[in-house]
Homo-oligomer: A and B are copies of this chain.
Amino acid sequence: MKVSIIGATGYGGLELIRYLVNHPHVEIISIHSQTETQAVDQQYPHLKGILSMKLTAVDPEEIMNQSDLVFLASPSGISKKLALPFIENDFPVIDLSGDFRLKEAGAYEKWYGTDAQHFSSIEKFDYGLAEFRENLNSKFIANPGCYATASELSLAPLLQNQLAELDSIVIDGKSGLSGAGKGMSASSHFSHANENMSVYKMNKHQHIPEIVQQFQHWAPELKGIQFTTSLIPVTRGILVTAYVKLKDVLSCVQLVNLYKSCYMEKPFIRIQEEGCFPCIKQVAGTNFCDIGLAVNKEMKMATIVTVIDNLGKGAAGQAIQNMNLFAGFSETDGLMQVPIYP
């Protein structure tokens, strides 16, 4: 399979390259940047000896002539424009941005603060939560956001089985700095972020509507969630702690078994035994999503602790998983990296 990557010099694009150069069935045909034209290993010396392809401007015609699929690793707001020629020509697209995720009219404008002239295209896209995809043949995939992936995988078993009190969901998300991309800001300056933790976009994060949309897919009566996002001083990794009141109290063992059963055939979801909670480092550099569980009987509350690498399962890893599903490859092809520990 031949692929092109647009937005190859962002963190998502670099991570696609990292996975794809060792993928058994994929050849990277071209890499594109809006701003850079040098060889990618000149700007990113870690790629020396691995990929020295030149970055070129986006030429949709040429991409469609030479490749079988294009990854859009461009930011939200840019992808919606870059995707158009591919959509018009029914050419396979996997978009890592937030531009094609929100199906409800008005939602994109509200949460992304920009126009939705591309709204008619949004409905052509399949939301790519890989473990719960329904139509694997879709040519247009909106890859989920990093917080959204962790949050949705956290609660899927409870919501699909109608076990949760729907007005009680609290999700406390923590992310490493790479989640916001390589753009510079006061909050991503090392001297500010190091030895620090801060809360941001409280109840305003653009992943909220995406999560609610998916939750409502499983539990239509759900109205909303409490969602908090914060920055922790790590480069990679998301840890989401989700709290939910249970309709009926389960034991922790029952909860663990429910999750194990729900994710039995999902190679990237690893359910921890009772009393064990995952840490970020145990998924670093991979497409794994590890989940630990607890029950507070007094409060009738379940706590779900979920970790992913925001650039892996939260972005490029899942995008490749979606590509594997689309292309009929094994779901794990090119993705069985061993986490970097320590």
Determine whether A243 belongs to the interface, using a CB cutoff of 8 Å to chain B.
yes
- With most chain B CB atoms within 10 A of its CB, the pick from A177, A226, A267, A307 is A226
Neighbouring B residues of A18 by C-beta, 8 Å: 338, 340-341
Q: With A172-B241, A178-B342 in contact, do A235 and B303 touch (Cβ < 8 Å)? A: no
Neighbouring B residues of A296 by C-beta, 8 Å: 203, 224, 226
Q: Is the CB of A299 within 8 A of B11?
A: no
Determine whether A195 belongs to the interface, using a CB cutoff of 8 Å to chain B.
yes
Determine whether A219 belongs to the interface, using a CB cutoff of 8 Å to chain B.
no
Q: How far is the CB of A78 from chain B (nearest CB, A)?
A: 20
CA distance A235 to B341 in the complex (A): 9
* A184-212 interface bits toward B, Cβ cutoff 8 Å, 1 = contact, 0 = none: 11101111111111111011000000000
Q: How far is the CB of A281 from chain B (nearest CB, A)?
A: 4
Q: Is the CB of B340 within 8 A of A202?
A: no
Interface residues of A in 294-334 (CB under 8 A from B): 294, 296, 298-299, 301, 303, 305, 307
Neighbouring B residues of A237 by C-beta, 8 Å: 195-197
Q: Is the CB of B285 within 8 A of A340?
A: yes
The bracket for how many chain A residues form the interface is 35 or more
Q: Is the CB of B223 within 8 A of A298?
A: yes
Q: Is the CB of A336 within 8 A of B279?
A: no
* A230-248 interface bits toward B, Cβ cutoff 8 Å, 1 = contact, 0 = none: 1011111101010100000
Q: How far is the CB of A275 from chain B (nearest CB, A)?
A: 8
Q: Is the CB of B283 within 8 A of A46?
A: yes
Stretch among A47-55, A117-125, A146-154 lining the B interface? A47-55
Q: Which of B11, B17, B195, B199 contacts A235 (CB 8 A)?
A: B195
Q: Is the CB of B194 within 8 A of A190?
A: yes
Q: Is the CB of A194 within 8 A of B233?
A: yes
Q: Is the CB of B243 within 8 A of A50?
A: no
CA distance A230 to B228 in the complex (A): 16
Q: Is the CB of A192 within 8 A of B303?
A: no
Neighbouring B residues of A144 by C-beta, 8 Å: none
Q: Is the CB of A198 within 8 A of B14?
A: no
In the complex formed, the residue of B with least CB distance to A18 is B338
Q: With A224-B298, A241-B172 in contact, do A341 and B46 touch (Cβ < 8 Å)? A: yes
* A146-169 interface bits toward B, Cβ cutoff 8 Å, 1 = contact, 0 = none: 000000000000000000000110
CA distance A88 to B299 in the complex (A): 41
Q: Is the CB of B49 within 8 A of A195?
A: no
Q: Is the CB of A277 within 8 A of B235?
A: no
Determine whether A249 belongs to the interface, using a CB cutoff of 8 Å to chain B.
no
Q: How far is the CB of A228 from chain B (nearest CB, A)?
A: 6
CA distance A199 to B241 in the complex (A): 9
Q: Is the CB of A234 within 8 A of B233?
A: yes
Q: List 8 A-B contacts (CB under 8 A).
A: A44-B282, A182-B342, A191-B235, A197-B234, A198-B280, A199-B292, A202-B294, A230-B239
Known A45-B290, A224-B298; further 4 A-B contacts with Cβ < 8 A: A46-B339, A48-B290, A182-B191, A189-B189
